[in-house]
Amino acid sequence: MLTTKNHHPWFAVQTRSRHEHVVAAQLQGKGYEPFLPLCKSRRRWSDRVKEIELPLFPGYLFCRFDASNRLPILIIPGVVQIVGVGKKPVAIDEKEISGIQTVVQSGLPRQAWSFEQIGQRARVEYGPLSGLEGTLVNVKGRHRLILSITLLQRSVAVEIDESWVSPIFPGVHLNPVPESIPCSASEH
C-alpha cells in the first residue's frame, strides 16, 4: 500500500442512494481524487427513450485520501461511511481500481455484474484492455471479462473479443519452446 504525501491508497466511500455524483463533485472541490465509474443505460419514459450514465457500483465511489484524516470526507452531505472493518477503513487493492479505470477509459460496453469467484481466469493480451486479468465468462455466445472489487463483493463485466485473451492456469509454469529443435543423429 503506497502512502506517500501525493499518493494515498484508494478507499470505497458509501453514499446515500443516488448521491454518488454530488459526493464526487464535493470531493473534487475539496482537492481529493474521486473515481466514480459509470455505465450507459437506456431508460424509457412515456414520451421518449434516453441514454443516461449510471454508477457501475450504485451507492459507492472511490477516493484517494489519508485514512488518518478522514473527517473532511465523512462530513460531506450524502456520505454514509468509508467502507472498512468496524470503524477502520480498508484500502482497495490498487490493481482492482486500475482495472476498473482501464475498462471505463476503454469505452467498451460494460455493466454491473454479480460477484464472480469461479470461472476461467484469463489475461487480456490484445486490444484496449491489454494487461488486465479477470474471469472470462461466455453468455449467449458473447465473451465477457469480469473484474471485481473484492471488498465490496461487486463486479463489472466488459464485453471483449475472445481472441484478445489467453487462459491463466494457476500453478502451471510453461517452459518456453525452443525456436528450433535440433535433429537427432538417428533421423539422418
The rounded percent of the chain whose pLDDT value lies above 70 is 86
Span(s) in the chain for CATH 2.30.30: 93-169
Look at residue 184 and tell me whether its pLDDT is greater than 50.
Answer: no
Residues 138-156 have a mean pLDDT of 92
Residue 177's pLDDT is 32
pLDDT, the chain, mean: 86
Q: In the chain, which residues fall in CATH 3.30.70.940?
A: 1-92
Lowest average pLDDT, out of 91-100, 135-144, 156-165, 179-188, goes to 179-188
Give CA separation, 126 vs 3, 101, 123, 155, 166, in Å: 32, 17, 9, 22, 10
Average pLDDT over residues 17-37: 97
- C-alpha closest to that of 113 among 100, 126, 130, 122: 100
Q: How confident is the model at residue 133 (pLDDT cuts 50, 70, 90)?
A: very high
Band (11; pLDDT cuts 50, 70, 90)? very high
What CATH code is assigned to 1-92?
A: 3.30.70.940
The whole-number average pLDDT for the span 141-167 is 92
Kindly tell me if the per-residue pLDDT of 165 is higher than 90: yes
Specify the fold of 93-169.
Answer: SH3 type barrels. (2.30.30)
Task: Return the higher-pLDDT residue of 75 and 138.
Answer: 75
**Distances from the Cα of 127 to the Cαs of 105, 131, 134, 156, in angstroms?**
13, 9, 15, 18
- Between the alpha carbon of residue 109 and those of residues 69, 90, 123, 135, 143, the distances in Å are 37, 30, 18, 16, 12
CA distance 63 to 33: 6
